[in-house]
């Protein structure tokens, strides 16, 4: 049975109201609260008009994670805009969904960074989230077949506040900023914070091999784990946790 990732009418406001207290703290200031109210009203208006909006759970990236639990931040732009794709986690799709090109390049880079290990056959990155990886899109909803259709409606103000909250946490994090859109968020990160900030082109096939910093060959996954180990923290298992596997040679590497 296909995964139904459609947002239901009147559910967005309920989901926002149920956000854990630790995240609610980022949303209390008047500009952010107003932006959340505005985008919620807009999304509900589009749903009432018959639009198909994804994903079913826009705030899923925050589930089970407090800001203090976050060890790595990976930013996406907006959700996948096809049926059965978006899950509320940046770059992630259900295991039985066709692997998107950007995620394929992400796994190809992991294969380079983790030689001799097996890579997941599935595409659901929930296993990363359970290890403290915040997979946050900067726009949390999208309409069917229309990329960036909910951009500049208020989501960016909301997610900037969430990123800022994580960045101000006393425990240093690793921020992986892929592409110009994600790299613009570096302005939200306090100076002298101790965070590891790594930048590269977006993993999309359109940019993954291009200068100035090609995504393929960036080494970010190995560099994050080396940095975490240097902090006395457990490295991220990018490859084999709670999933099925195939040999990295099957990726043609």
Catalytic residue numbers read: 78
In angstroms, the Cα distances linking 208 to 78, 84, 215 are: 18, 25, 5
CB contact at 8 A, 151 and 138? no
Which alpha helices (H) appear in the chain, and where do they start and end? 12-17, 21-24, 30-48, 101-113, 126-129, 155-168, 180-183, 220-230
CB contact at 8 A, 209 and 187? no
Distance, CA of 169 to CA of 46 (rounded, Å):
36
Distance, CA of 205 to CA of 193 (rounded, Å):
33
Q: Is the peptide bond before 237 cis (omega within 30 degrees of 0)?
A: no
What are 137's two structure tokens?
């899109």
């Amino acid at each position: 049975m296909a995964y139904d990732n459609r947002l239901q009418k009147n559910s967005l406001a309920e989901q926002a109201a149920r956000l854990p207290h630790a995240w609610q703290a980022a949303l209390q200031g008047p500009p952010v609260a107003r932006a959340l109210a505005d985008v919620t009203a807009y999304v509900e208006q589009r749903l009432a008009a018959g639009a198909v909006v994804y994903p079913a759970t826009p705030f899923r990236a925050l589930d089970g994670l407090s800001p203090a639990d976050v060890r790595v931040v990976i930013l996406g732009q907006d959700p996948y805009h096809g049926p059965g794709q978006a899950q509320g986690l940046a770059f992630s799709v259900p295991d039985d969904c066709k692997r998107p090109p950007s995620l394929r390049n992400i796994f190809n880079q992991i294969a380079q960074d983790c030689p001799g290990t097996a890579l997941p056959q599935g595409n659901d990155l929930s296993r990363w989230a359970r290890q403290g990886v915040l997979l946050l899109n900067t726009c949390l909803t999208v309409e069917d077949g229309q990329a960036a259709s909910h951009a500049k409606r208020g989501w960016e103000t909301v997610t900037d506040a969430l990123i800022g909250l994580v960045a101000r946490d006393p425990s240093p994090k690793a921020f992986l900023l892929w592409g110009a859109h994600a790299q613009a968020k570096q302005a939200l990160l306090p100076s002298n914070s101790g965070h590891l900030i790594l930048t590269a082109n977006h993993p999309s096939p359109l940019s993954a091999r291009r200068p100035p910093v090609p995504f393929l060959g960036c080494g970010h996954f190995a560099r994050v784990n080396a940095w975490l180990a240097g902090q006395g923290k457990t490295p991220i298992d990018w490859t084999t946790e709670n999933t099925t596997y195939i040999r990295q040679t099957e990726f043609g590497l």
